[in-house]
Amino acid sequence: MADNREADFLRELYEDWSSRMAANPAMSIADLRSMFDEWGKPAREPEGVSYKSDEVGGVPGIWAFPQDADSARVILYTHGGGFAVGSADSHRKLAGHLASALGVTAFIPDYRRSPEFPFPAQIEDGIAAYLGLIERGFHPGFITTAGDSAGGNLAIAIAFRLRELGRQLPGSIIAFSPWLDMALRGATLEANAATDALVGRQILEGMISMFLGGTADPLDPLANPLENDFQGFPPLYINAGGAEALLSDAESLSEKARNAGVSVTLSVVPGMQHVFPALAGRAHEADDELLRISAWYRAL
């Protein structure tokens, strides 16, 4: 289990959200988005990082500029939130910490969200932002797609869509607690139901309904990256918390990609919650994980 009381901040935040959703099952999407924008609270403000609002490829978002970052390298960071909530603002500090750890810049797009814009709008915006980065002079090999939860799904799906389009793939991919399986087949959905303070089958089913719009196939390879052939995929870093319900998705991703010959690193930290790197700057478990990712990235 986590040995740092600061790590409890995220679990307590999730428990508060879960209680508020249970007390108001008919909570509006606007209120859900307002609540999930509290996702920015766990991370401390990263030192030496400045931000700028911008549009890249026609997609609005926020840049994170760590001091002394390599301006030729960039992270395209897609935020989590079940494709429906979360924002560039709620995740700018997490993306800033990751960019600082890697010594690069980051762009966090405010991609279109469901239910107003169901699948594949989110992937389309990710592709537009990726191609917009190339138009600005970034070499694809120096772009890392990264994201958490649903954003981790997008970081991977963007690469598959680029492959379909015949475009060069990113140089690397980082996925924090990726939510990949829209068919909800993971064993830890039940096995870790008692330890995950936020994610469960009911909330995921609601997000799936909004994301797929009641028409798309939950096994569509662009909505469900586990249904793809990973041969030729870029180096992949996957992380997850040992207490989370979506742990099986991270494990299945690691196994499938590794079996296809991909260079894969899977880091599972015992006792930690969904997207625990959101504790960056507050809890040593998150900071230690960022150091491991930094070492992995610099060795590529």
Residue-level pLDDT at 214? 84
Task: Supply angle C-alpha 32, 35, 36, rounded to 5.
Answer: 85
What pLDDT, in 10s, does the model give residues 137-181?
999 999 999 999 999 999 999 999 999 999 999 999 999 999 999
E strand spans, 201-279: 236-241, 264-269
Residue type, 272: M
Going by pLDDT thresholds of 50, 70 and 90, the confidence category of residue 121 is very high
Q: What is the pLDDT of residue 5?
A: 81
Whether 30 shows a pLDDT value over 70: the answer reads yes
Model pTM? 0.97
The amino acid at residue 55 is: E
pLDDT at residue number 60: 98
Residues designated catalytic: 149, 244, 274
Per-residue pLDDT band at 97 (split at 50, 70, 90): very high
Q: Flag whether pLDDT at 109 surpasses 50.
A: yes
Q: Give the amino acid at 214.
A: G
Q: What is the pLDDT of residue 202?
A: 95
Q: Which domains does the chain have, with CATH numbers?
A: 5-298 (3.40.50.1820)
Q: Is 220 exposed, middle or buried (0-12, 13-18, 19+ CB in 10 A)?
A: middle
- Contact predicate 65/79, CB 8 Å: no
Extract the runs of DSSP E, i.e. beta strands, from 117-208: 143-148, 172-176
**pLDDT tens digits along 222-280:** 999 999 999 999 999 999 999 999 999 999 999 999 999 999 999 999 999 999 999 99
Q: Could you give the CA distance from residue 93 to residue 86 in angstroms, rounded to a whole number?
A: 13
pLDDT 10s digits, 175-211: 999 999 999 999 999 999 999 999 999 999 999 999 9
Classify residue 169 by its DSSP letter: P
Average pLDDT over residues 13-32: 96
pLDDT of residue 3 exceeding 50, the answer is: no
Pairing of strands 70-78, 143-148: parallel
Under the phi-then-psi rule, with left for phi > 0, alpha for psi from -120 to 50, and beta for the rest, what region is 16?
A: alpha
Is residue 4 over pLDDT 70?
Answer: no
Residue 286 CB coordination number (10 Å):
28
